Every structure is written in C-alpha cells, then in structure tokens.
Amino acid sequence: MKDLIQKSFQTRAVHAGERAPAADYTPVSTPIYPSVGYLYESMDDMDAVFAGAKQGYVYSRYATPTVSAFEAAVASLEGAEAAQAYSSGMAAIHAALLAAGVKAGASVVAALDLYGATFTLLRSLLASLGVNVRMVDASDLEDVAAALAETQPAALLVETISNPLLKVADVPALAALAHRHGASLLVDNTFASPYLFNPLAHGADYVIHSATKYLSGHGDVLAGVVAASAENKNKLYEMNKLIGGVLGPFEAWLALRGLKTLPLRMRQQCQNAQRVAEWLNSHPRVSKVNYPGLPVHPQHDLAERLFEGKGSGGVLSFEIKDADKATAYRFMEALTLCLPATTLGDIYSLVLHPATSSHRSLTAEERLRIGIPDSLLRLSTGIESADDILADLESALARL
Ligand code: PLP
C-alpha cells in the first residue's frame, strides 16, 4: 500500500508488511498460501479469472496455489491430465460418484469388499437418496457383467487392492465391461498407490485416493484426491465450488511434502509386507494370510501382471487360528512396535481389527458375507526393519 507510513498506527497494524511486489526469485519448495482472497492489477483481470479465461486464484474454496501444486503432483504420478483435491478420501469418493452421474434414479455397481465407510456411503446414504446400489464380487467378471447389463449403472466402483481382503481388481477388463454398458469406471487406488499402478492408463475414468494413506505417508494429514481427464476434472471442480469439501493449504503442503518420498517408502513397505506375509503364512497360530504377493493368493498372477513385479503393496491381512474378538484384541495389545492405530500407509507399522474399526458400520451378517470374521487382523507394514516387525509379531503370537 502506497504512503502506508503516513497512516495511523491502527491502519499500519493491519496492512504493514503485506502484499510485497511480485518477486524475481522462485522458492525451491512450494510455500503455504493461506490467503482466502487474491488481488489483481485490474478488475478486468479478476473478472477473467472468475470466468475461467485467465489462470489464477480468486477465492480459496475454488482453488489455492498450494493445493494446486499438490494436485499437479498427483496428476503427474497418476499420468492424469488433472486432479482435484478434497478434505478427505471419503469426500473424494463421494465427489467422483456425483461427477460420474450418480443421482436419484441412477444405479451404481460396486465391489462387495470395499472400505467399510465406502460400503456404508453407498448402501445407506446414497441408497436413501434414491440411488440403486448393487454390490458384486468384482473378481468374478461374469457377476460384474450380469449386474452391469441388468442395472445399466452410471458408475462401477472398485478398489485396485481391496480393504481389508486384498483382492486385486482386473482394471483393464472391468474398464472394458463398464464402457460397454455406458458406465464410468471409478477406481480407489489407495492401497496400490501410483507407485504400483496407474488405473487411468488401463481404462479407468476416475482414480480416487485417500491421500491420508500412502500419498502423504506420515500419519499427520487427512486428505483425498481424484485424478481424471481435464473434462472430468472440470466437473469435479465446478461441483466442489458448490459443495466446498476442499483441502486446506496446510494439509496440501504436508501431503505434497510426503509425496516426494512415495517411491522410497513404497519400495520398503512392499518388501516388508512380502517378508511378513511369507512368515505368517507358515506360522502355526495363523490360519489364513491374504496378500497378493503370495503364490496361493487367487489373483497372484493378475497382481504380477498389473504391478509389473514392483511389489504387491504394503498391506496384508491374516486370521489367527480359532481367535475371537478378545484374542485378537490381546494380540494387538501384546505388540510393542506395530501400533494398534486406525489407519494405514504410514511409515509406522500399523495393525487394525477390521470387524470393530474399518468395517464396524456393517452388520455382522454383512461382514461374514464379505469374509471379515473377528479373527481377521490387518497389518500395514511401515518402513522399519522387517526383522524388528517379525520379532514383534512373533512375541505377540507367542503370548496368546
Ligand atoms: N479408501 C480406502 C481404501 C480407505 O482405506 C480409506 C480409509 O481408510 C478411505 C478410502 C477413506 O479415506 P479417508 O479416511 O481419508 O476419508
């Protein structure tokens, strides 16, 4: 502001130090821009930004520079034209469903073993708003084809690697089936992350992430993102201007910083998970291990083909022989390195009891139908030494 020095103390307290002239240097890492509003030399310029004719920012519910930087980074890693960030993974899933045309009277076909909150979003909230929801076994392509033919849905929703049973979706085949019936394919790529797989390159229309997990990676930010074509990004953007489920600039900055080490973290987490899965698979107290990296896994070959040998993800689940909820809880309490916290994809190893956390919102019958008994535990391997993780599991199993 010109002549600020001549203004009163009260006015200087408000404006002093603000709005430095545009700089001729470039910060190496993206700054956090918490500003809600943005200024232009002329009101015509601001008008052009409002109209979308000029690149820029006007109001932080529409877009902000730090969030745009995170979106550009995710779009690059997913091989997408663009991405739209959200305040959580659930907000991202909801937004992608709406952008794909899910509304009252429309249908959605979805994998039966989705993350619990996604299942409940579909079966309770969207169903109560008049959406016809059909759950299928996404690994059974005939079952999927029959549901698509019968319901002619707006969207087919699957997870690349499902939570918590680690089923792998045949994304190229599902994309062909969805498109044959005029449906968009929505893929929740949270578990695989773009390190293992890019669903858009295999025919998906919207790729969703709970960026809370592998993308951010450090258990300190809640975020979601959808990667898509420029046309679909525009639908997401226009909708989010009205719905307002935006990511804050501080969270975007943390997520962008986390993203830089995604390949290093994922490589280590995949290696750790593979070793732990093989070890658990031969442990006498363990009756079943779900991990696509094991040759006994029903979609092992598919995982090898889709992930091109880069690994099979950092999450596995397993059943303790004859365990009820109390035994599963005692096992979790006996662990000292693996943390019993409700999340995944962190640098820390994390263990969770799906029946009473991620899938708590389902009825007991629904859980049993999907295959989530009380004896099931989910482990997300961190980047610690695999030897230390195994020693922790060994001592906790021995104490049962
Ligand atoms: N998708 C998957 C596969 C998840 O595991 C989760 C959360 O655990 C979500 C979506 C929801 O993400 P958020 O907790 O960031 O809303």
- Do 100 and 142 have their domain in common? yes
- Please check whether residue 326 lies inside any domain of the structure: yes
* CATH code for the domain in which residue 91 is found: 3.40.640.10
CA distance 393 to 324: 18
Q: Please report the pLDDT score of residue 3 as a whole number.
A: 87
Q: Please report the pLDDT score of residue 386 as a whole number.
A: 98
Report yes or no: 285 and 328 within 8 Å, Cβ to Cβ: no
Q: Please report the pLDDT score of residue 104 as a whole number.
A: 98
Report yes or no: 121 and 133 within 8 Å, Cβ to Cβ: no
CA-nearest residue for atom 6, ligand 1, is 210
Report yes or no: 71 and 233 within 8 Å, Cβ to Cβ: no
Which residue, among 230, 224, 236, has the nearest Cα to 200 in the 3D structure? Answer: 230
Catalytic annotation present for 188: yes
Catalytic annotation present for 61: yes
- Please check whether residue 83 lies inside any domain of the structure: yes
Q: Please report the pLDDT score of residue 5 as a whole number.
A: 87
Instruction: Give the relative orientation of helices 386-398 and 262-281 as an angle to the nearest 10 degrees.
Output: 40
Backbone phi and psi for residue 196, each to the nearest 5 degrees, phi listed first: -90, -35
Last residue of a domain, one of 205, 238, 259: 259
Quick check: bond before 164 cis, omega within 30?
yes
- Do 243 and 159 have their domain in common? yes
How far, in Å, is the centroid of ligand 1 from the Cα of 88?
Answer: 8
Lookup: tokens for 98: 């709406």
- Please check whether residue 342 lies inside any domain of the structure: yes
pTM here is: 0.97
Q: Please report the pLDDT score of residue 1 as a whole number.
A: 72
CA distance 50 to 29: 27
Report yes or no: 311 and 274 within 8 Å, Cβ to Cβ: yes
- Please check whether residue 200 lies inside any domain of the structure: yes
Q: Please report the pLDDT score of residue 51 as a whole number.
A: 93
How far, in Å, is the centroid of ligand 1 from the Cα of 161?
Answer: 13
Catalytic annotation present for 213: yes
Which tens digits make up the pLDDT trace of 50-86? 999 999 999 999 999 999 999 999 999 999 999 999 9
Pocket test for ligand 1, best of 86, 168, 190 (most atoms within 8 A of CB): 190
CA-nearest residue for atom 5, ligand 1, is 115
Pocket test for ligand 1, best of 87, 88, 90, 120 (most atoms within 8 A of CB): 90
The residue-averaged pLDDT of 86-103 equals 98
Last residue of a domain, one of 204, 233, 259: 259
* CATH code for the domain in which residue 334 is found: 3.90.1150.10
How far, in Å, is the centroid of ligand 1 from the Cα of 256?
Answer: 18
For residue 392, count other CB atoms closer than 10 A to its CB.
Answer: 18
Report yes or no: 362 and 350 within 8 Å, Cβ to Cβ: no
- Do 308 and 196 have their domain in common? no
- Do 118 and 138 have their domain in common? yes
Assess whether pLDDT exceeds 90 at residue 395: yes
Average pLDDT across the chain, whole number? 97
The SS3 of residue 227 is strand
- Please check whether residue 154 lies inside any domain of the structure: yes
Domain ranges, residue 64? 60-259
Last residue of a domain, one of 195, 225, 259: 259
